[in-house]
Amino acid sequence: MVDSRFGQWLKLVVSLLLLLKTQGLYVGITYVKSAVAKGAVCLDGSPPAYHWDKGFGTGINSWLIHFEGGGWCNNVTNCLSRKKTHLGSSKLMGQQIAFSGIMNNKRPFNPDFYNWNRVKIRYCDGSSFTGDVQAVNPATNLHFRGARIWLAVIEDLLPKGLKNAENALLSGCSAGGLASILHCDSFRSLLPMGTTVKCLSDAGYFINVRDVSGAPHVQTYFNEIVSLHGSAKNLPLSCTSTLKPSFCFFPQYVAPQVRTPLFILNAAYDSWQIRNILAPGNADPLGVWKSCKLDINNCSPLQLKAMQDFRLRFLIALNKATNSSSGGLYIDSCYAHCQTETQEKWFMADSPMLGKMVRDCNHRYSCCGSFLFILISS
């Protein structure tokens, strides 16, 4: 019993030491106070914010701009709840955040981007940085200004060195990964002509599929987001000129028209999508999926079949986005969501590498880091 407890304690200590070693650094927050006059504000009217760790050495003129993720709000009620959190107010954001994974500043743990200028744009609008409604209801004081936040942050960074960028990568996770697709071409248009610009979407390829009850849950949900936030005018015109704006919140209808090289990193069994798109709570009133969503080892054969069908639909929806010879994909079959922000999912010394050994979901596909660099440098 004593040996067992000592072994568990030792494992905990080793894990903590490894975490401290790979965590990177803590980066302070920058508030874009000048943006308030432009109406570029969070849901509660507070200024937008970002965290920036300056590049050095060979990376001094290379920039990684990363969108924070965190879902969306699709009606006044949940936007009011959201504005009481860091996802709706910069007043509630931590003064420092850890940069790890793709944001790490240590070469052994992020060999391709460690010395780039790395910026994390905080997410406080609830629309993947697409909203723009001028009117503010005094009863709620909700501001739907995500698109303005995006432009205000870029305008703040340009004179700080972004205008001299030789390489620029726009990335993001989840709702931020969606933003990196929706704003990919506009990002390129905001930078100097000579800049090499690429985009990376991590777990942002949300697909239009019916839930287990047969209802178009996510289609309705995205339509509510686009309508509430006034997002239509900020979605890619290449899509909205032929489709209903709410469809243009789905990457499968936007990605084929993106002209800037786009890299998609996603799990085909995306855990967030399976929990919230395939089997959302309102499609499972008896809670049949609850245990399965928490641990796939608890899934029944029928539930596993539904998940496999979801994977097939995901790959079909992804197919048209792979036509460009300048883009790329990294699709694994793990039950996961977001693989760039945490060190264990991004790059570790004992991780497998493409082409050299069999990939194993338990290793979290940390080799993605080196694979991404092929896209950036090509």
**Cα 267 to Cα 78: distance, rounded to the nearest angstrom:** 28
**Cα 12 to Cα 286: distance, rounded to the nearest angstrom:** 38
269 in Cβ contact with 361 (< 8 Å): no
Amino acid at 61: N
Residue 325 known to be catalytic: no
Q: Match 């760039």 to its residue by tokens.
A: 340
Q: Match 């500043």 to its residue by tokens.
A: 105
Dig out the tokens for 249 from the structure: 């919140």
CA-closest candidate to residue 10, choices 363, 20, 18: 18
Dig out the tokens for 139 from the structure: 């009863």
**Cα 147 to Cα 133: distance, rounded to the nearest angstrom:** 10
Which distant-in-sequence residues (6+ apart) come within 8 Å of 76 by Cβ? 140, 142, 228
Point out the catalytic residue in the list 174, 180, 231, 366. 174
Distances (CA, A) of 318 to 6, 225, 327, 369: 48, 23, 13, 21
Residue 295 known to be catalytic: no
Residue 86 known to be catalytic: no
Point out the catalytic residue in the list 156, 270, 351, 366. 270
Point out the catalytic residue in the list 51, 86, 183, 337. 337
Residue 115: helix, strand or coil by DSSP?
coil
Dig out the tokens for 81 from the structure: 């709840």
Residues annotated as catalytic are: 174, 270, 337
